[in-house]
């Protein structure tokens, strides 16, 4: 999920470019850790169309020493340890602070009190959001702390709990800024460390004076175990590639564009594994195997119309796993209804990696007439599509969320599969909400295929 302050707009009457215009048709969908910004391409392309890019293992990040003196043997051992650690675990930033207060090692300053005497805060104050609301700034204090091994942990208004910060995008200037925020002159030493945390914050390009304003779970929050039990992670040749939704014991609904026709390997069921009920790519359950891939016969990769596929599993799922409800034929969702979408996709447009955690974000259903207006998608929304998100941008699905669920809760308390994450321009851009395949419009096809392929 993505949060972006870009004001990029689009126009023109051309359809979204087909999958073949941005990738080699013989290559498979991309790996979980192989997503990165596209090369030069047409300005308006669906962001959920995954690009088959080469798998690049995460680099080993050695511990850095800012001292002019050589590190001790103990420090050298730590550097080698960090440098040789595998790329399968999340590498997190730690900062060891030693302040120069006339001498190399000075006493630590006392932490600031949260509530300052005489401080005035408006009723709309949001703590740790990177913006000072109170007259003396007490709302932006006590938002940074250090955990075991001096692991940097930050509290943000979106996370609501202290989380470690990923080392990707970290720099010495950010270390200095963080230390200065705490009352120190600058940082002395920074490095990387492995962490077992399942949730983390990533560095954004926001320009603020506080570290809590520069790190965020972008546009959404981490889902809890069991919150969306029907959510699946579809792995192609060992890497998360798309999402999906369990709708019956034997069937998963996902997007057709996850299985390009020009890729024989993507059409092979044995190349896919289905992970159900997981909220972390680091804690995957036993996989489910795919017996058959059923892509809608009228799927058009040029327009993304009929972007739906059905996976028949090789064995039924145990009944304790709850599938999502399919809507009734007369059920409609009105514009303005708040629904939820979830997935393991990238947390910002063009990011190099998807999220290791299952992310969730609330989005509003947008009237199709508004979504089809010249200012938005200019007639590209068909009767088999619906839009959800915000015209102001900020909260959205993104690359890697393809095929995942858009669910809405009805008055009976049940959650219904309303949409399938399909495409959109960028991630979280203004006037570019997410576009989803309309499950209600495609309900007949789903039932007919399930009936034909019933156990």
The residues assigned a catalytic role are: 257, 307, 402
DSSP 8-class letter at 370: H
CA 392, CA 376: separation in Å to the nearest integer? 11
Write the CA distances from 38 to 10, 51, 321, 362, 434, integer angstroms: 17, 8, 37, 27, 19
Structure tokens at 334: 């009105």
Collapsing DSSP to helix, strand or coil, 74 comes out as: helix
Distances (CA, A) of 202 to 129, 348, 383: 15, 10, 37
**Phi/psi at 202 (5° precision):** -115, 150
Strand-pairing partners, residue 385, are: 437
Alpha-carbon gap, residue 367 to 385, rounded angstroms: 11
Of 230, 317, 314, nearest to 272 (Cα)?
A: 314
Residue 179 CB neighbour total at 10 angstroms: 21
- What is the C-alpha separation between 389 and 54, in angstroms, rounded? 31
Tokens 């401080």 sit at which residue? 119
Secondary structure class of 156 (helix, strand, coil): coil
Give the Cα separation of 137 and 117 in Å (integer): 11
Burial 133-152 (b: 16+ CB within 10 A, else e): bbeeebbbbebbeeeeebbb
Beta bridge partners of 387: 366, 435
The kind and range of the H/E element at 85 are none
Give every CB contact of residue 93 below 8 A, 6+ residues apart in sequence.
151, 152, 164, 165, 166, 167, 170, 190, 192, 193
């Amino acid at each position: 999920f993505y949060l972006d302050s870009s004001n990029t707009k689009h126009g023109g009457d051309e359809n979204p470019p087909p999958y073949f215009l941005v990738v080699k048709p013989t290559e498979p969908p991309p790996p979980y850790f192989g997503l990165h910004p596209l090369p030069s391409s047409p300005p308006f392309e669906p962001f959920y169309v995954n690009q088959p890019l080469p798998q690049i293992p995460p680099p080993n990040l050695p511990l850095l020493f800012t001292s002019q003196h050589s590190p001790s043997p103990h420090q050298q051992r730590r550097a080698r340890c960090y440098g040789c650690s595998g790329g399968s675990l999340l590498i997190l930033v730690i900062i060891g602070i030693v302040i120069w207060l006339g001498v190399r090692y000075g006493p630590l300053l006392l932490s600031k009190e949260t509530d300052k005497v005489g401080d005035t805060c408006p009723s709309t104050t949001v703590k740790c959001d990177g913006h000072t609301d109170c007259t003396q700034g007490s709302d932006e204090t006590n938002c940074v702390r250090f955990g075991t091994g001096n692991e940097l942990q930050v509290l943000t208004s979106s996370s609501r709990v202290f989380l470690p910060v990923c080392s990707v995008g970290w720099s010495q200037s950010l270390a200095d800024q963080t230390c200065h925020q705490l009352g120190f002159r600058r940082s002395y030493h920074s490095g990387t460390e492995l962490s077992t945390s399942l949730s983390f914050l990533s560095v954004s390009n926001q320009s603020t004076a506080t570290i809590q304003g520069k790190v965020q779970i972008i546009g959404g929050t981490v889902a809890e175990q069991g919150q969306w039990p029907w959510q699946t992670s579809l792995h192609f040749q060992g890497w998360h590639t798309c999402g999906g939704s369990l709708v019956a014991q034997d069937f998963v609904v996902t997007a057709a564009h996850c299985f390009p026709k020009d890729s024989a390997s993507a059409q092979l069921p044995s190349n896919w594994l289905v992970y159900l009920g997981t909220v972390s790519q680091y804690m995957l359950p036993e996989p489910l195997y795919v017996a058959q891939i059923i892509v809608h016969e009228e799927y058009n990769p040029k327009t993304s119309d009929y972007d739906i596929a059905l996976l028949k599993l090789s064995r039924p799922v145990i009944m304790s796993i709850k599938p999502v409800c399919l809507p009734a034929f007369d059920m409609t969702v009105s514009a303005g209804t708040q629904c939820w979408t979830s997935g393991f996709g990238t947390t910002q447009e063009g990011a190099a990696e998807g999220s290791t955690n299952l992310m969730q974000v609330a989005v509003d259903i947008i009237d199709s007439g508004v979504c089809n207006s010249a200012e938005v998608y200019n007639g590209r929304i068909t009767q088999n599509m619906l839009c959800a998100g915000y015209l102001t941008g900020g909260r959205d699905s993104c690359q890697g969320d393809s095929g995942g669920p858009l669910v809405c809760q009805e008055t009976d308390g049940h959650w219904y599969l309303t949409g399938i994450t399909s495409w959109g321009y960028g991630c979280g851009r203004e006037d570019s909400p997410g576009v989803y395949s309309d499950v209600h419009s495609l309900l007949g096809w789903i039932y007919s295929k399930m009936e034909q392929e019933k156990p």
